[in-house]
Amino acid sequence: MSAIRFELLARDGRARRGRLHLPRGTVETPAFMPVGTCATVKALTPAQLGELGAEIVLANTFHLWLRPGPDVIADHGGLHRFMGWTRPILTDSGGFQVFSLAKLRRITPEGVHFASPVDGARVFLSPEKAMEIQRVLDSDIAMVFDECTPYPASEAEAARSMRLSMDWAERSKRAFEGSPNALFGIVQGGVHLALRRESARILCAMGFDGYAVGGLAVGEPASERNAVLDATVPELPDDRPRYLMGVGRPVDILDAVERGIDLFDCVLPTRNARNGHFFTRSGVVRIRNARYLRDLRPIEEGCGCYTCRHFSRAYLSHLHRSGEILGAVLGTLHNVHHYLELMREIRAAIAEGRLGEYAAGRRGALNAPADELA
């Protein structure tokens, strides 16, 4: 019996309102997963994440493999106890690091040789090793090991990469057999639509608990990303969750939801918060801008997050200019709240059959000229 069950509650066009049932909790979809690469969502405690309404977080197999190492996490009985998070966790397999650490790696059919970004040591990650580590982590959803194809890539380059990823997906599935947790396949193929369809069909024939679309948000324009989704999503099973990896901005999430995507993750809300960039319904507040030095308003009028209920833009400007840690904490609270509230509104709009109207309104506000941001 699968460790995952996807319940489809409503449709609005191609958009889906669902419920993902996992042993450690239920995830309302479409959902955004805050990124906790190294077993922590930066600047937030697990209690704060729970209060914000996060139902699932993401952690990274590659980074946890290097530090602190699977043995340390095994001593705690798995990743949940190690990081103090009782709700579901999804772990990426390390495939994105094959892309992001291109200068530190060498790809072979067997796997990838890396120079560790921690200490320069030579390490080797294969599909089998990535599954072994994820078994120790005991994440609710594991991802197959893949190669994240760079952009741009010729059709021949993307085809070679995709077929290598399909071989690794099959090896990952074999290595993961017997695990009580869920395993997702990852569609690859660059921006070449025929390759994306081929990849999706190969993975569906293998059979996975869910399906991700990888290799996007790596520099391609939104129009090409949306074309990939238009070609790929119809090839995926209707009764399984669909995950768009590494996306993205609120407008990108809206685009993908309208094309049938259920799960998202991205570092933007947390990374941007640490840089003093705060998301609002009408654009981004860059708190170091001199106009906010004496601004007594919250980041966003009407926002119900802890930060907006208690602090002014002037105070946040002071914290960021002074390098105070609290600035990162308060900004992250706001940004993660903003993303999770976006997903709550999207789910309600799908259930009520008004997603098109909702999305048009959100895009109109976000596309307003920057000098109109209050």
Residues involved in catalysis: 92, 265
* Tokens coding 23: 């042993």
Cα–Cα dist 188/192, whole Å: 9
CA distances from 30 to 8, 69, 233, 284 (A): 11, 32, 15, 23
- Specify burial of residue 235 (Cβ count, 10 A radius: 0-12, 13-18, 19+): middle
CA distances from 341 to 42, 244, 269, 305 (A): 19, 19, 12, 10
Let me know: does 127 contact 166? Beta carbons within 8 Å.
Answer: no
Q: How far is CA 21 from CA 29, 141, 176, in A?
A: 10, 11, 20
Could you tell me if residue 276 is left (phi over 0), alpha (psi between -120 and 50 degrees) or otherwise beta?
Answer: left
